[in-house]
Amino acid sequence: MFGKIKNFAVKKLIEKQLKNVPADQQQMIMELVEKDPKLFEKIAKEMQEELKKNGNNQMAAGMKVLPKYQAEIMKIMSPQMQQKLAAMQGGTAGRFNPNGSIRR
C-alpha cells in the first residue's frame, strides 16, 4: 500500500520540480523514474547531500552527482529516448567525462 502512495508522492514532487521544463523532456524524465525509481531515489539523496555542502546550489549539485550515474541512466533509456536526447542536446550526448569535464 505505501509503495503506491510513495510512488504517487514522488511523481507529484517531480512534476512540481519540472514545471518549467518542456513537456517532451518532462515525459522522458517521468518514464525514466518509473523504470528505475530506486536509482533516482539514490541520485536525489546524493544531490540533497551536495546541496547542503554547496549552499543550495542545485546546478553545482547536479553537475557533480549526475555524471556518476550517466551509464546507469543510459542503460534504462530506450533507443528512441537516446535518439531524442541526442537531438535535444544537439549531438553532444556522451561528450562529458564522469567528472563533468568535456571530452574532446
pLDDT in tens, the chain (104 residues): 567 787 777 778 777 877 888 888 888 888 888 888 889 889 989 988 988 887 878 888 888 898 999 999 989 988 888 888 777 766 554 566 666 666 66
What's the grid cell of residue 98? 564522469
What's the grid cell of residue 29? 524524465
102 found inside a domain: no
What is this structure's pTM? 0.68
7 found inside a domain: yes
42 found inside a domain: yes
d(CA 95, CA 102): 6
**Total structural domains within the chain:** 1
Name residue 96's beta-bridge partners.
102
DSSP 58-80: HHHHHHHHGGGGHHHHHHHS-HH
26 found inside a domain: yes
Name residue 102's beta-bridge partners.
96
